[in-house]
Amino acid sequence: MNWKFATFNVNGIRARLPVVLQWLEQHQPDVLCMQEIKAQEKDFPQGAFRDAGYSVSLRGQKSFNGVAIVSKKPAEELLCRLDEENPDEEARFIAGRFDGIWVVNTYVPQGRTPEDPAFRYKIDFLERLKRWFESRFDPGDRLIWAGDINVAPEDIDVFDPKRMEGEIGCHPAERQAFSRVKSWGFIDLYRKHHPNEKQFTFWDYRLPMSFKRNLGWRLDHILVTDPVARASLECMVDHELRGRDKPSDHTPVWAEFDLEKL
């Protein structure tokens, strides 16, 4: 039986609700991770997802950030913070078990510029995440880490690597921090299926005509442990959405798995 998974930085769930519902209707993923829902729990349109046949797990915050997982079956287990000791950390992390697979959904800080304190926070976030994986899981577990990681891992993942060298999203320090988390036991699923494809998942609103001119970044990722990678059939970026009327600046990434190979 096939199992479908997707991740999408929606940039405001209230503004993007029609787009997301239509995408769910068409693609029927078993699990969809969303980032930048930009809503508190009380403002998240839970009813609309339930009516579409999806269960909602979410970690909200007023105005910024916020992550959610919607799934055909409710989470078998759920964790809403990376750091249980810190009750008012930003809403950038949620993890749940679905059909026996642990799904970790993150919205990694963007970091502003490499000089900004926010950049240090980004690196720290990735290091905390690495320790979190180490302490709870084994690379042989069924585990998916997905979301807006805000790092373009290689030069192929930016529209103009020369121009973007050392810039936010491409800085060696963040690439290395991301790489270190992956080295624990993750495979970049899009890159596994498409080793040489220059395919982006984000086009900045602020760059004039960025989508039309394909001035993008691959910042949204599906990372999986080895057993999950071996069960994977495909991983794709649905850039079509970005060309429509009121798009998010990001676009969905999805993957399909053969559960019998797991």
Partner DNA sequence: GTGCATGTGG
Partner DNA sequence: CCACATGCAC
Q: Can you give the binding site for DNA, defined by CB under 7 A? A: 11-16, 38-40, 43, 62-64, 109-110, 112, 118, 205-206, 208, 246, 249
Least distance from DNA to the Cβ atom of residue 182, Å: 22
**Considering 30, 171, 220, 250, which one is annotated as catalytic?**
250
Binding residues: 9, 36, 148, 150, 249-250
CA gyration radius for the chain?
17
Half-sphere exposure of 198 (CA within 13 A, CB side): 9
- Residues 107, 157, 190, 221: which is the catalytic one? 107
Q: Which run of H or of E encompasses 2?
A: strand 2-9
The residue among 121 and 132 lying less far from DNA, judged by its C-beta, is 121
CB of 62 to DNA, least distance (A): 5
Q: Which residues are annotated as a binding site for Mg(2+)?
A: 9, 36, 148, 150, 249-250
Q: Is 171 a catalytic residue?
A: no
Backbone angles phi, psi at 20, to 5 degrees: -65, -45
Residue with tokens 């997982």: 69
- Quote the least distance from Cβ 224 to DNA, whole Å: 25
User: Is residue 124 within 8 Å of residue 11, measured between CB atoms?
Assistant: no
Residue 90 near residue 64, CB atoms below 8 Å: yes
Closest contact distance (angstroms) between CB of 135 and DNA is 27
Q: Which is nearer to DNA, 152 or 228 (CB)?
A: 152
Decide if 158 contacts 152 (C-beta within 8 A): yes
Residue 250 is a catalytic residue: yes
**If we measure between CA atoms, which residue out of 250, 254, 219, 251 comes closest to residue 234?**
254
CA separation for the pair 133, 203 (Å, rounded): 30
Q: Which is nearer to DNA, 61 or 232 (CB)?
A: 61
Q: Is 54 a catalytic residue?
A: no
239, two tokens: 């850039």
Among residues 44 and 133, whose Cβ is nearest to DNA?
44
Residues forming the active site:
107, 148, 250
